[in-house]
Amino acid sequence: KAGVTQTPRYLIKTRGQQVTLSCSPISGHRSVSWYQQTPGQGLQFLFEYFSETQRNKGNFPGRFSGRQFSNSRSEMNVSTLELGDSALYLCASSPGEGQFDEQFFGPGTRLTVL
Enumerate binding residues for other proteins (CB under 8 A): 4, 31, 33, 35, 42-45, 48, 50, 55-56, 58, 90, 92, 94, 96-108
Closest distance of CB 108 from other proteins, Å: 5
Residues 6+ apart with CB under 8 A from 6: 21, 22, 23, 24, 89, 90, 91, 106, 107, 108, 109
Closest distance of CB 70 from other proteins, Å: 19
- Nearer to other proteins by Cβ, of 20 and 104: the residue is 104
